[in-house]
Amino acid sequence: MAAIGHRSPTRVHQNCYDGSPTGVSHVDCDSKRREAEDQMAAQKVNMKNAGEKRYMCGECGYRTDRKTDFSRHTKIHTGEKSYRCDECEFRTSCKPYLSKHMKTHSDEKPHKCDQCDFSSAWKANLDNHKTRHTAEKPYMCGVCGYRTAVMYRLSRHMKAHTGEAYKCDECGYSTVYKSNLIAHIRTHTGEKPYRCDQCDYSAAQKATLDQHLLQHPGKKPYICERCGYAAAKKCRLSEHMRKHTGGKPYKCDQCDYAATQKSTLDCHKARHLDQHLAKRTVYKCDQCGYSTIYKSHLSAHMRTHTGQKPYKCDQCDYSTVTKQRLKSHLRKHSGLDLSP
């Protein structure tokens, strides 16, 4: 049955003939039928387009045709994190992110590398790891020539050039990675969300807790046959064995340096970044030794000398020197934490 208000192609076809000797020809009939079909197709497209992306965010202009996507997006602006991990302090605004996080509490790592002992709970991590076994690095920075095998690494690297940075309002610490700032802020707040399940120890970072867990007896089944070193994880023993074999699989893509552990390589690569940043303009405070490569950071820092606090809380008497610090304060009123 044709939709109300629209003539069907069949009705148009029947009307092509009026029963008289001068009726419409078959050629004209086919033409009219095609025209009618085209009109109906266009009407369907218009009806579809009218309903597309009807949900629009008033904060940033984001649009979507799905109410669930819109609801999830608005939480980015409100800071709402309604999904919480039962085993640690992690919170998120998205249920799939919580499901992904829960894998960090499980020992199950089904995705295994076929060239070494590495395994991961996520396939994406395995794909990222496999790039270390190949010399192919198709993604290159157009500013300094840095190359990488993974696109997201290039995106992270580019922040060093664009000036996008996260700054601590307490001490001036800055980083291009938000997760690093969140971990750093815990050194000021004393927050230690990662807790040992065998003693009262707690840590501000998961990596620190992992190191602590190695101290508990009975949790180190992997033993080095050469020196007696014991590890809680097979990958730790593999890293240790390189000290005996001299293997250095982690290579710097900017020089000839190589390391036995990824963390050591990361520290080395930070020096390259420091050298690059050192070539940039440095803004210095004329009242103390503070310096930064970002002019906006110096402006915020100067308020610590002048006492100016332009950002005020609308729920209490609190005021601060930067907008970011005010946002952190407002979470105390909403009951939300700084967890990623």
Distance separating alpha carbons of residues 72 and 95, to the nearest angstrom: 9
Q: 43, 21, 1: which is closest to 35 by C-alpha?
A: 43
* DSSP structure string for 145-173: --EESSHHHHHHHHHHHH---EE-TTT--
Contact partners, residue 168, CB within 8 Å, separation at least 6: 174, 181, 184, 185, 188
pLDDT 10s digit of each residue in the chain, 340 long? Answer: 444 444 444 444 444 444 444 444 444 555 545 565 555 555 554 444 445 677 777 767 778 888 877 777 777 767 677 788 877 777 787 777 788 777 777 777 788 888 787 888 778 778 877 777 776 777 888 877 788 877 777 877 777 776 656 788 878 787 777 777 888 888 888 888 888 877 888 888 888 887 787 777 666 777 888 787 777 777 778 878 877 887 788 888 888 888 877 777 877 777 776 666 556 667 788 888 777 767 777 888 888 888 888 888 888 888 887 777 788 788 777 654 444 4
Helices (H), 190-294: 206-213, 234-245, 262-278
Q: Name the CATH topology of 281-331.
A: Double Stranded RNA Binding Domain (3.30.160)
Contacts of 46 (CB under 8 A, 6+ apart): none
* Rounded Cα distance, 4 and 137, in Å: 59
- What letter represents residue 99's amino acid? S
C-alpha closest to that of 330 among 319, 184, 321, 339: 319
Pairing of strands 250-251, 63-64: unpaired
For the purposes of burial, counting CB atoms within 10 Å of the CB of 62, is it exposed (0-12), middle (13-18) or buried (19 or more)?
middle
Give me the pLDDT at residue 64, please.
83
Does this model's pTM top 0.75? My answer is: no
**CA 84 to CA 72: how far, in whole Å?**
15
Give CA 309 to chain center in angstroms. Answer: 31
- Domain assignments of the chain as residue spans, ordered by start: 281-331
Cβ atoms of 210 and 189 within 8 Å: the answer is no
